[in-house]
Amino acid sequence: QVQLVESGGGLVQAGGSLRLSCAASGRSFSAYVIGWFRQAPGKEREFVAAITGRRTNTYYEDSVKGRFTISRDNTKDIVFLQMNSLQPEDTAVYFCAATDLNSHSTVVIESTSSYDYWGQGTQVTVSS
């Protein structure tokens, strides 16, 4: 079992930055792939970024590459999503999620159905 709590959301102007945090509790945190997803009103939840457990391979959705950076500190059981150059289209509720699937397939890692544990979400609003 893993419990996830997101924080760091807020209101920011276009071009600004935010850093989201995903704090985890439970066992064997370093064994889990942690993903960030987002959901805008009226839209499906979509993949944003993910980081594997020990080797810390990273994956990004195309629209956030070069702007967002995912990282983790396994000593503190926390994952960060640094978001720079934010745009209004980044406005959404951001969720972190965890899976213990041992896969490096992007199809698996980018799928919401691969993740067993979810946080409650944190709102990110980018004004133009």
Show the low-confidence residues of the chain (pLDDT under 70): none
Residue 27, pLDDT score: 78
Residue 115: how many other CB atoms lie within 10 Å? 22
Residue with tokens 């594997």: 52
Q: Rounded to an integer, what distance in angstroms lies between the CA atom of residue 5 and that of residue 7?
A: 7
pLDDT for 37 equals 98
CA distance 106 to 121: 23
| Each residue's pLDDT tens digit, 79-100 | 999 999 999 999 999 999 999 9
Q: What angle do CA 100, 29, 120 make, to 5 degrees?
A: 80
